[in-house]
Structure 1
Amino acid sequence: MSRRTEIDVRPITEAEFADWNRALNTGFLRPPAVAAEQLEARRKEFVPGRSLGAFDGERCVATFRSFDQEVTAVGGAPVRADAVSNVTVTATHRRRGLLTRMMAQDLAAAKERGDVVATLIAAEYRIYGRYGFGPATTMTEWAVDVPRAGLDPRWAAPEDGGRIDLVDGEDVRKLGPELHERLRRAQPGAVSRSELWWQYRTGVVDWNGSPWTEPCYAVYRAADGEVEGMVSYRTDDRWGEAKQPLNTATVDWLLAVTPAAERALWHYLCSIDWVQTVKSGWRSPDDLLPGLLPDPRAARITTQADWLWVRVLDVAEALTARTYEGRGATVLDVVDRSGLTDGRWRLEAGPDGASCVPTTESAHLVLDVAELGALWLGDASAVRLAALGRVREERAGAARVVDALLRTSRRPWCPDMF
């Protein structure tokens, strides 16, 4: 019987970057080879110490990367986050605890840096709960049957005095970052975007090696000329019998900081000649889109699933960074098997602020740190989690108190994949 070699988990060096990317591609079921220009583009994201690899001899068999991020808390405060991405384990080395070792190293370093939470987009649901992550936002995609929607077929411009203009990638790089920052400051669950993000989405930098096809970009300007919305979309070219158009407009991303901008951009997309279907891309589950249509049933949900996952690293900072619409107090017993946040905390909160301090008082609600992550942005319900057996009331009605404090009138949303 062959003996397994010891697997070394460590931050990768510059010299190991190519092998690490080959393992990354393999793990994500892409062709392993990495072209030189693609490798150079990915190198722009390389931060010493933040890309981990597991090595069997000289071969990289697992990958892990994290980077600095800000995530918007309820109320608009930016919170320091450790964003986790590029997680793979090669099929030949599964079930050896490699992800557990890489995750432990990264979260310990994030805690030491003072990051308040860690974030990720989970490719598989069952993996990350055991590391303290909880699903904190939901993503919904719609397909709009344009002829059924009931919109005015003669629509040519927004009714509010604003206008829609087509722009190019250079305009997007100039106007997009400021617009996104305005959205991010108002949208719980939104995350920061780097300059590289805009370069990737406008074809300046090629990250994945696929041939670049420029999308269409449109901006909405209010009556005073201010940019309040922007969309990137692609159209296909399909025709049916008797020369009937069957074209689809697929949204890459859409940003709008006012309801007027959101209304105008969706109406524009649904008014493009020959377009019969509009695919919305990743949206909030309570997006305005269906309600903007005279017939909301024309917007059919095609995907609805968990999206941003949150792992709390500093309970006091996370709970005091956000705002609260109601007033109340509770004692939370947070269970964290890793020991990073284990403890009992008294939360007192109201519209004028919050305090969260360690306490020896009897707990009102006992919950795993993963459930705290799910609750933090206000989307999950403690009452529902109690019914599922995932939190435990030590005082009758404690889950309702927590819901009254934490839940929000609009649902959190993360527009980004990372």
Structure 2
Amino acid sequence: MRTVGGDADLLTTWIAGLRAGFNAPTGGDPKEVPDRLAGMDLSRARGVFDEGRCVATFRSFDQELTAPGGNAVRADAVTAVTVSSTHRRRGLLTRLMTDDLRAARERGDVVATLIAAEYLIYGRYGFGPAATATTVEIDTARAGLDPRRTGRPEDLGLPGSIRFADAEEVRKVGPELHDRFRRLHPGAIDRDTFWWDRFTGVVRWSDDGPAPRHLLYTDAEGVPQGLATYTIDESWTHGRPDNLLKVRSLIGASPAAERALWHHLCCNDWTTRISTGKRYPGDPLVSVLPDRRAARTAEEWDFLWVRPLDTAAMLGSRAYRAEGELVVEVRDPLGLSGGRFLLTASPEGAECVPTDRSADLTLGVGTLAGLWLGDRSATLAHATGDLDEETPGAVVRADVLLGTGRRPWCADVF
């Protein structure tokens, strides 16, 4: 097991192992390798090598994750996890994962995060599903929108305007807009410089598809409040346009901004279908449709998984809408963040400290992750046997304390 770092030979072998692990095509344009690696933090990229081959890969990097209330906590983002089919069931992933999580805990990271491809793998390391992703398909012909509508915000009684923006402008205003957006959405993560370079085409690769279009919504004062990026798959049926509009990203610093952008997209000429990309359950986008049955959930799946590393810091970092106390006994299979903790919360702030008081609830770290971010209720966790109520009424009290106004949302793959 070795750290790849800047060793060119190891890195080449590591990339080959990564592509094999993800069943990706071999080859690619070697001229693009430096650009592809330029945006990756390889200081925590590790691999297992056997007779010149990389048979397991793993990488983590620094990340910020938004907690309910808008605070950002330090996260250890885990990615590029593969084990060759020829070397499974030998404990390679366990060694890679546990070493990384212990190092993250020592660094002071509050949680670890990952996007899980396989459901059954990560629970044994203390991860739990914490933010669900939903893709909605909209039949715009059935939506019931008045054909006289222009697609402008004024149709909805909203101030401001919508216009197309080029990549240069998006690169300029996008990062600050996204910072405002992510404070509003528990589960949102930060986007670094390289993300914006890729998103706006400053860095383009041979396998990139067509350049997307960008829509910018500005308020009455001209301040950017929303950004939508999309592509269109052109299709004609019986001589009539039947285009599919695919949303790559739609963010807003206010609900009004999101509504304005969705309304505009639904009024797009020649578009009969819209695929929304990864949204969150309960997204109010369908509220712009007179006929809400024109919107159909195409996919809904666990997306962002979270692993508590510092339980006291995690529970103390988020906002609470009610006042109360809760003692939780947390079970951790790796012994990193378990124990008994007293949470004292109110709308003014929260504190969480180790305690000897009797537990109100007993649960695993993976279950705690979903409760903390707001994607799951204590009532449901109790019903499924993932949480034990030690004090009568504690489940209801937990839901009152931990409840959020909207479910969490991670808009990005990493």
TM category, shorter: over 0.9
Native 8 Å contact 2:311 2:338 kept in 1:
no
Using the alignment, how far apart are the partners of 1:358 and 1:272 within structure 2?
55
The aligned counterpart of 2:393 is: 397
Structure 1: which amino acid aligns with 2:255? P
Secondary structure of the structure 1 residue equivalent to 2:236: coil
1:19 equivalent in structure 2: 13
- Which residue of structure 1 aligns with residue 36 of structure 2? 42
Gaps of 5+ in 2: none
**Secondary structure of 2:41 counterpart:** coil
User: C-alpha deviations, 1:172-228, integer Å up to 9, x for none?
Assistant: 111110110000112111100001011111222246x51442011111111221111
Query: Measured at CA, do residues 37 and 406 of structure 1 come closer, stay the same or move farther in structure 2, by a change above 3 Å?
Result: farther
Aligned to 2:169: 171
SS at match of 1:115: coil
More displaced, 90-99 or 366-375?
90-99
> 1:76-104: CA deviations, max 9, x gaps?
11100001111111121122111111101
Q: Scaled by the length of structure 1, what TM-score is found? A: 0.95
Matched, 1:329 2:321: no
Q: For residues 120 and 165 of structure 2, what CA distance do their matches in structure 1 show?
A: 42
Q: Which residue of 2 aligns with 1:90?
A: 84
Q: Is the 8 A contact 2:42 2:59 kept in 1?
A: no
Tell me how far 1:34 sits from its aligned partner: 4.4
Do residues 286 (structure 1) and 289 (structure 2) align?
no
Is 1:71–2:65 an aligned residue pair? yes
Identical-residue share of aligned pairs (%): 51
Counterpart amino acid of 2:136?
W
Q: Does the aligned pair in 1 maintain the 2:180–2:253 contact within 8 Å?
A: yes
1:150–1:392 CA distance, 2 compared to 1 (3 A) = same
**Among 119, 131, 148, which residue is 1:125 paired with?**
119
> Residue in 1 aligned with 2:184?
186
Name 1:195's counterpart in structure 2: 193
State the alpha-carbon separation in 2 of the partners of residues 204 and 19 from structure 1. 28
Give the RMSD, CA atoms, in angstroms: 1.4
Q: Which whole-Å CA distance do the structure 2 matches of 1:304 and 1:311 have between them? A: 21
Q: Secondary structure at the match of 2:70?
A: coil
Q: Is the Cα contact below 8 Å between 2:326 and 2:343 reproduced in 1?
A: yes
Structure 2 counterpart SS, 1:49:
coil
The reply to whether residue 56 of structure 1 matches residue 54 of structure 2 is: no
- The residue correspondences of 1:6-405 to structure 2 (distance < 5 A) are 9-13=1-5, 14-15=7-8, 16-156=10-150, 157-159=152-154, 160-206=158-204, 209-241=206-238, 243-405=239-401
**In 2, are the aligned partners of 1:38 and 1:206 still within 8 Å (CA)?**
no
Q: Which amino acid aligns with 1:135?
A: P
Q: Structure 1: how far apart are the matches of 2:399 and 2:164?
A: 44
Contact conserved, 2:210 with 2:231, CA < 8 A, in 1?
Answer: no
Deviation of the 1:26 alpha carbon: 1.3
TM-score by length of 2: 0.96
| Deviation (angstroms), 1:35 | 2.8
